[in-house]
Structure formats: structure tokens, C-alpha cells
Amino acid sequence: MSIQFRPMQKADVPRIAEMERLCFRSPWSENSLLGELKNNIAHYRVGEIDGVIMAYGGMWVMYGEAHITNVAVHPDYRGHGYGKKLMENMIETALLHHAVSMTLEVRISNTVAQNLYTSMGFEVAGRRKKYYTDTGEDGLIMWNNNLPAYKRAD
């Protein structure tokens, strides 16, 4: 199955909000997602297979940095490398908007995501105590400080 990426549109928001509820304990609301469409520094990407949105990610790009806000793959599509393809697409998008570095937070318990990010040139740069208010879990701060080099290595 081939995945295609494109910018998020208003009509995508109900499906993405549904995925938020499936994937996260503290999901973003439809209103929050709609607000991101009006945010000049926000760039949201959706991944589709046969016209069905099965992954999405969002980031804010400013001052040469991209900050990942959301990344999700629908549970029915996990384990097929789509998360990596989504992150690669987000890196490409960040580079188009002149970002040279990218950061994100990830749950301490989410070793699958940590391994993916590490394989893509991200390194742990710190820890946010009790970052996830739904569980009180710490978040790892990860950075890739050289996006152009990652893309060249691809």
C-alpha cells in the first residue's frame, strides 16, 4: 500500500479528531485542530492510503526550528513503517520552510517512538518532569539539530 502526503484541510478535521481520540489520552479537539489551520506558523500533513487518512502530523516552524506538535498513525496501520514515512515528509516540509533543526517531546514510556526518532538523527536533550498532565509522566525532549544532513543521508 502506497501512502500519499498532503497538507491538512478543513474537511480532514473530523477524521483527525477521531484519530486523536483513538491514539491519545488527552486528544486535541476539533476546534483546536481547526485553529491550527489559521496559524501561520503551523504546518499539518496528512497521510492517505486509497483516500483514507491514516496518519497525520503537525509542527510549528519559526526561526529556523520546527517544533512537532502532533504525530499519529491510526492503530489499524501501525507496524508498517508509515510513522517513519510521515516523519520524513515532515522533515521535507520543515526544510521547505527553512528549518534546520526539529524538536519534539515524547513520553518516557514510548520506546517505539523514541527508537524511531533516534534512527532519524534525534538525540535526547533533556527531560520535562510531569509533562503529560493526563498521567504525570515525564517527557523526553529530543532534537535533530541538522535536518539537511539527515535528508542528504536518506
CA angle 116, 122, 129 (to 5 degrees): 95
User: In terms of residues, how long is the chain?
Assistant: 154
The per-residue DSSP string of 115-149 comes to: HHHHHTT-EEEEEEEEEETTTTEEEEEEEES-HHH
117, 123, 132, 150: which is the annotated catalytic residue? Answer: 117
First and final C-alpha spacing in the chain: 21
- Which residue, chain included where needed, has cell 486535541? 28
Query: Is the CB of residue 86 less than 8 Å from the CB of residue 49?
Result: no
Kindly name the residue from 18, 92, 105, 137 that is annotated as catalytic.
Answer: 105
105 included as an active-site residue:
yes
Backbone angles phi, psi at 50, to 5 degrees: 50, 40
C-alpha span between 106 and 76 (Å, rounded): 21
The set of catalytic residues is 105, 117
